[in-house]
Amino acid sequence: MTTKTLFRAGLALALALPVAAFAADVPQSFTATYQVLKDGGPLGEATVTLKSAGGGQFEYTNQTKGTSGLAAMLGANVSETSRFTWAGQVPQAVSYHYQLDAAVKSKTRDLTVQGGNVQVQDNKKSFTYTAVPGMVERNTLPLALGLALRSGQQQVAFPVAVKQQVENQQFKVSAKEKITVPAGAFDAIRVDRTDADRGFNAWYVPSKYPVPVKLAQKDGGDLTMELVKYEAR
């Protein structure tokens, strides 16, 4: 197991456009706490927070700490911070910062949307490519999915800014399932990624929460995030 494995769960989006009028039903602020599991065993904890950053922008953060196993021994922690503007119900990317700190390694990635381009600094490597209207990034993608589901969509595609390009990632509602997480038992809908075999599954209760109650993906093993607590502010 590597420290990178823990942080692939990091829950997971400015273009040269005017700031969209705020939709009445988009979340303004909240804090969600998750437990992180690796192959069913405890690995860490994550705190996801949304708050206003002023000037029509919002800040969305995911702070993940290794609390068990090798991740705890190495003092592994990751932080992801996104800035975005609401484009309707889509959290449209302004910037994204990723920071991994551990005893044996560190890693950073910065993504900035400026002048119609996406500029990425990945440690010592730089990339530039053209931005796309309505573009999100990996940290706020789960939020974008949750809001699409709440509006009744069964299939959705998002242009997602990754390291070297914009990917058109596609998702669909695959099933209704009863699941139990630390936050409670829910009748949830499961969403799967369909454009690539990435082992991405997320369970949502859109009427209650804009973020998943459970998120699972495969990266050298089964990695899962389960909701512990959600507080609207």
pLDDT, position 73: 39
Predicted model pTM:
0.85
Cα-Cα-Cα-Cα dihedral of 185, 219, 134, 84, to 10°? 80
pLDDT, position 3: 36
Which amino acid, 174?
A: S
Q: Domain count of the chain?
A: 1
pLDDT, position 67: 66
Query: Tokens 């495969």 map to which residue?
Result: 218
CA–CA separation, 230 vs 216, rounded Å? 18
- Average pLDDT score over residue span 43-67: 92
Q: How far are the Cα atoms of 78, 126, 162, 177, 231 from residue 110, in angstroms, in the given order?
A: 14, 10, 11, 37, 28
Q: What is the secondary structure of 4-34 as a DSSP string? A: HHHHTT------SSPPPPPPTTS---EEEEE
- Average pLDDT score over residue span 127-148: 96
State both tokens at 31.
């804090």
Domain that holds residue 37: 3-232
Residue 203 pairs with which residues in a beta bridge?
190, 214
pLDDT, position 103: 59
CA–CA separation, 179 vs 185, rounded Å? 6
Is the pLDDT higher at 24 or at 47? 47
Instruction: Give the model confidence (pLDDT) of 194-230 as tens digits.
Output: 997 667 899 999 999 999 999 998 755 578 999 999 9
pLDDT, position 18: 36
Output the CA angle 6-48-32, nearest 5 degrees.
Answer: 110
- Would you say residue 66 has pLDDT above 90? no
pLDDT, position 141: 96
pLDDT, position 6: 36
CA–CA separation, 25 vs 10, rounded Å? 25
- Average pLDDT score over residue span 78-100: 95
- Would you say residue 68 has pLDDT above 70? no
Residue 9 near residue 36, CB atoms below 8 Å? yes
What mean pLDDT value characterizes the chain?
A: 85
